[in-house]
C-alpha cells in the first residue's frame, strides 16, 4: 500500500530532465557475499576515504560482509565499498555484464549491490529484456521513450532512497549494458533525451506485454483522481492479436486459490469463483470467492499476483470453471493492461506506423518533448 501511495503522489510531477542523469539500480539484495568478475582495470575504495586500490588484471573479486564490515582483499570498511571500472572495463555479476560503478552498501546483517550508471546506458540494458531486440526499430524507439520517462519518474520518487529502481519486474527488467544490440543502440540514440509529458509534466508511462484488445484507465489501480492523467485513460487496440499472449488458458491449483483467500480473510476451501466487477474493456476488476464459510469479493489484480502473474496472465478473464485440479481460467492479454501494449506497438510498427504515432496511440493527449 505504501508503494501504491508513493506511486500516486508521483504520478504527475513537474521537474527538469537532465541528460547524463545517473540511475541507481539494485542488482542484489540481502547479500552476504558477492562474486564480481572484472574484464580490466578497476579501482576499489571505501566511500569517503581517500585511498584507492588499483587492480589492473582481470579477475574475480569477492565482497563479503562480516563483523559489521565489508571485506574485499585487505580492504575493510563499514562504509559503502565502491568498485569503479575504467573506460572499457566491464563488471560481471550473476552472469550479467555492467559498465557502471558498483556500490556495495551495508544494510544490517546483509548488503545491497547497486550499480550507478548513466540513463542512456541503463536503457541499453532495459530494452532487449522488456522488448525483443529483433522487433521493428519503431517499436523499440517507442519502448525507449516509455522506459526513459518511467525511469525519470522513479528517480524523482526515490531521491531519498539508496537506489532508484529494481533490476526486475518490480521496476523494469535490466541486465546491464555490457552487451549491446545494434537495434537497441539505434532506438536509444535515436530518441536520446526524449520523454512524454502531459500538460508540461512527466507521468508514469506504464507498459505491459499484451492488452488483449484494449488498455484500461489507470484509475482501476489508483482511484478516480488518477483519471485526470488523460494519457493513462485507456484506448482500444487493434494491433495485438498476432501474439500468442492474446488468448490463453491456465489452471490455478486449488491449494493456491485457498491459500490466497485464507490470507485475505475468507476461511474454507473455495467452491466457486466468478467475476464480480469488470472495467469498460471487460477486464475483471474484482472476483467473488465462495466457500462453505461464506463469500468475499477481492481484487483480481491482487489475486493474479498472489497465484502467479506468469500463470494467470491477465485479469481480462472470459471463463472460470472448477476442475479436479483447481480452477480453469481462459482470457486475453498478458500484464496489467495500463499504458502501452508492447505487442500492439510491434503490430503498429509492422503496419508502417512510426514511434511517435505508437506513443500517441497508447498515451493519448501526451506530448513528446526533448530535455
- Region 290-315 average pLDDT: 96
Domain boundaries, the chain: 22-117, 118-243+335-371, 247-332
* Residues 164-207: tens digit of each pLDDT: 999 999 999 999 999 999 999 999 999 999 999 999 999 999 99
* Residues 282-291: tens digit of each pLDDT: 999 999 999 9
Separation between Cα atoms, residue 119 and residue 103, nearest integer Å: 17
**Ordered DSSP codes for 150-213:** HHHHHHHHTTTSS-SEESSTTS-----SSS--HHHHHHHHTTTT-EEEETTEEE---EESB-SS
Per-residue pLDDT at 160:
83
Return the C-alpha cell found at 147.
522506459
- Region 266-286 average pLDDT: 95
Q: What share of the chain has pLDDT > 90, as a percent?
A: 86
Its sign, for the CA torsion 10, 16, 20, 21, is: negative
Helices (H), the chain: 2-9, 119-124, 127-130, 137-157, 182-189, 219-222, 254-263, 300-307, 342-350, 355-362
* Residues 68-112: tens digit of each pLDDT: 999 999 899 999 999 999 999 999 999 999 999 999 999 999 999
How would you classify the pairing of strands 12-13 and 201-203?
antiparallel
CA 303 to mean position of chain CA atoms = 19
Per-residue pLDDT at 20:
64
Amino acid at each position: 500500500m505504501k508503494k501504491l501511495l508513493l506511486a500516486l503522489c508521483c504520478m504527475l510531477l513537474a521537474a527538469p530532465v537532465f541528460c547524463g542523469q545517473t540511475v541507481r539500480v539494485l542488482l542484489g539484495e540481502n547479500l552476504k557475499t558477492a562474486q564480481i568478475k572484472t574484464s580490466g582495470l578497476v579501482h576499489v575504495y571505501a566511500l569517503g576515504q581517500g585511498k584507492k586500490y588499483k587492480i589492473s588484471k582481470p579477475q574475480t573479486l569477492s565482497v563479503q560482509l562480516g563483523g559489521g564490515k565489508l571485506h574485499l582483499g585487505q580492504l575493510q570498511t563499514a562504509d559503502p565499498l565502491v568498485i569503479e571500472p575504467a573506460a572499457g572495463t566491464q563488471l560481471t555479476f550473476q552472469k550479467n555484464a555492467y559498465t557502471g560503478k558498483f556500490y556495495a552498501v551495508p544494510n544490517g546483517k546483509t548488503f545491497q549491490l547497486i550499480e550507478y550508471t548513466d540513463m542512456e546506458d541503463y536503457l541499453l540494458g532495459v530494452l532487449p529484456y522488456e522488448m525483443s531486440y529483433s522487433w521493428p526499430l519503431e517499436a523499440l524507439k517507442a519502448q525507449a521513450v516509455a522506459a526513459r520517462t518511467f525511469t525519470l519518474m522513479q528517480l524523482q520518487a526515490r531521491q531519498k532512497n539508496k537506489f532508484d529502481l529494481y533490476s526486475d519486474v518490480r521496476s523494469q527488467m535490466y541486465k546491464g549494458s555490457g552487451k549491446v544490440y545494434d537495434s537497441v543502440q539505434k532506438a536509444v540514440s535515436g530518441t536520446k533525451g526524449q520523454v512524454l509529458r502531459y500538460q508540461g509534466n512527466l507521468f508514469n508511462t506504464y507498459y505491459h506485454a499484451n492488452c488483449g484488445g484494449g488498455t484500461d484507465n489507470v484509475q482501476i489501480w489508483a482511484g478516480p483522481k488518477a483519471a485526470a492523467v488523460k494519457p493513462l485513460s485507456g484506448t482500444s487496440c487493434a494491433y495485438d492479436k498476432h501474439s500468442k499472449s492474446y488468448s490463453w488458458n491456465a489452471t490455478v491449483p486449488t491449494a493456491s486459490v485457498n491459500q490466497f483467500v485464507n490470507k485475505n480473510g475468507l476461511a474454507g476451501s473455495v467452491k466457486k469463483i466468478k467475476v464480480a466487477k469488470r472495467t469498460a474493456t471487460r477486464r475483471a476488476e474484482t472476483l467473488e470467492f465462495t466457500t462453505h464459510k461464506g463469500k468475499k469479493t477481492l481484487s483480481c489484480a491482487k489475486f493474479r499476483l498472489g497465484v502467479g502473474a506468469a500463470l494467470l496472465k491477465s485479469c481480462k478473464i472470459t471463463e472460470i470453471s472448477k476442475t479436479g485440479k483447481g480452477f480453469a481460467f481462459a482470457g486475453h492479454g498478458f500484464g496489467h493492461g495500463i499504458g502501452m501494449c508492447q505487442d500492439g506497438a510491434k503490430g503498429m510498427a509492422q503496419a508502417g506506423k512510426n514511434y511517435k504515432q505508437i506513443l500517441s496511440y497508447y498515451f493519448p493527449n501526451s506530448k513528446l518533448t526533448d530535455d
